[in-house]
Amino acid sequence: MQQWVVERGTLWALEPHGGLPPLCSARIEVEFMELGVGEIDDLTVVMKLPSPELIQQRLERNRRCFLLRADGRIVTYGWVTHGLEYVGELERTFQLGNDEAYIWDCGTIPAQRGQRCYSALLSQIIYRLQGEGTSRIWIGASRHNKPSIRGFANSGFQPVIDLTYRRFYNLTVLRFREAPTAVSHLVTAAYRILLNDHERCFGRLALGYRRQ
């Protein structure tokens, strides 16, 4: 385990029942689909994995993956979880409600970056999840990840909380700052999914001790 960790990011959300944003289109012709058995090998290559084992494990644990294809090739992908999901960058488990979803581990191949493929993928995922009854969708990224942030904004997500996570050995500190436009019930929901059992919240600060 690293002796210390620092991560700065923003958690974004969208509530489809409040009205769906306009569908965002890529600048190239693409096809949207959910990952099936026939696409696992292709995704293994795109994700630069040594084998399809990780993808298969995620699917067995009820994770879902959505894709955009162009000219028969996967150009962008994103994973979706309902329920609990461990977020390595923040060293915590997101505790999602049954009607919530979290989008994570997304990527676009270098040759198609700048074509709004990621924005289009997120937009399609939003529409799919809304059609399945999902009432709230979360997504997050480092504050320095400008391409991801553009994709979030293009597809209709709104920032909820900026956070800074620090760990020194087993001591953890999570500092929150509400986004100026965030509505109160989303801020409350963000605290709920972020805080884990080893932490105690004091205003905009959560302190904890991680046992090994």
| Whether 119 contacts 148, CB under 8 Å | no
pLDDT for position 182: 96
pLDDT along the chain (212 residues), means of 10: 90 93 96 96 98 97 97 97 94 93 97 96 98 97 94 97 95 96 96 92 92 72
Q: Tell me the residue type at 110.
A: P
> pLDDT at position 197, please?
87
pLDDT digits (tens, 9 = 90+) for 160-195: 999 999 999 999 999 999 999 999 999 999 999 999
H or E stretch covering 172: strand 171-178
- For residue 18, the model assigns a pLDDT of 82
- pTM of the prediction? 0.95
Q: Which helix (H) or strand (E) holds 7?
A: strand 4-14
Domains and CATH numbers, the chain: 4-209 (3.40.630.30)
Q: What are phi and psi of 141, to 5 degrees?
A: -165, 160
DSSP of 94-113: EE--TTEEEEEEEEE-GGGT
Residue 17 gets which letter from DSSP? G
pLDDT tens per residue, range 80-98? 999 999 999 999 999 999 8
